[in-house]
Chains A and B, each alone.
Chain A
Amino acid sequence: DVKVTQSSRYLVKRTGEKVFLECVQDMDHENMFWYRQDPGLGLRLIYFSYDVKMKEKGDIPEGYSVSREKKERFSLILESASTNQTSMYLCASSHGDRVFGYTFGSGTRLTVV
Chain B
Amino acid sequence: QKEVEQNSGPLSVPEGAIASLNCTYSDRGSQSFFWYRQYSGKSPELIMFIYSNGDKEDGRFTAQLNKASQYVSLLIRDSQPSDSATYLCAVNSGNTGKLIFGQGTTLQVKP
Binding site for B on A (CB under 8 A): 30-31, 33, 41-43, 45, 48, 50, 90, 94-107
Contacts and interface: CB of A to CB of B under 8 A. Distances in A.
B111 interface: no
6 contacts: A90-B43, A101-B32, A101-B46, A102-B34, A102-B99, A107-B42
A110 B107 CA distance: 26
Nearest to B99: A102
Find the residue from B43, B45, B102 having the highest chain A CB count within 10 A.
B43
B97 A31 contact: yes
Contact of B103 (A42, A99, A104, A105): A42
Contacts of B49: 99-101
A98 B46 contact: no
B21 to A, nearest CB: 15
Contact of B45 (A30, A50, A99, A104): A104
Given A42-B102, A98-B97, A99-B49, 4 more contacts: A42-B104, A90-B43, A101-B49, A101-B99
B: interface residue count bin: 20 to 34
A50 B43 contact: no
Chain A interface main SS type: mixed
Contact of A107 (B43, B88, B103): B43
B43 A105 contact: yes
Nearest to A98: B92
Interface string B27-64: 00001101000000011111001010000000000000
Contacts of A96: 97
Contacts of A30: 97
A7 to B, nearest CB: 14
Contacts of A94: 97, 99
Nearest to B30: A98
B32 A99 contact: yes
B46 to A, nearest CB: 5
Contacts of B92: 98-99
A94 B34 CA distance: 13
B74 to A, nearest CB: 14
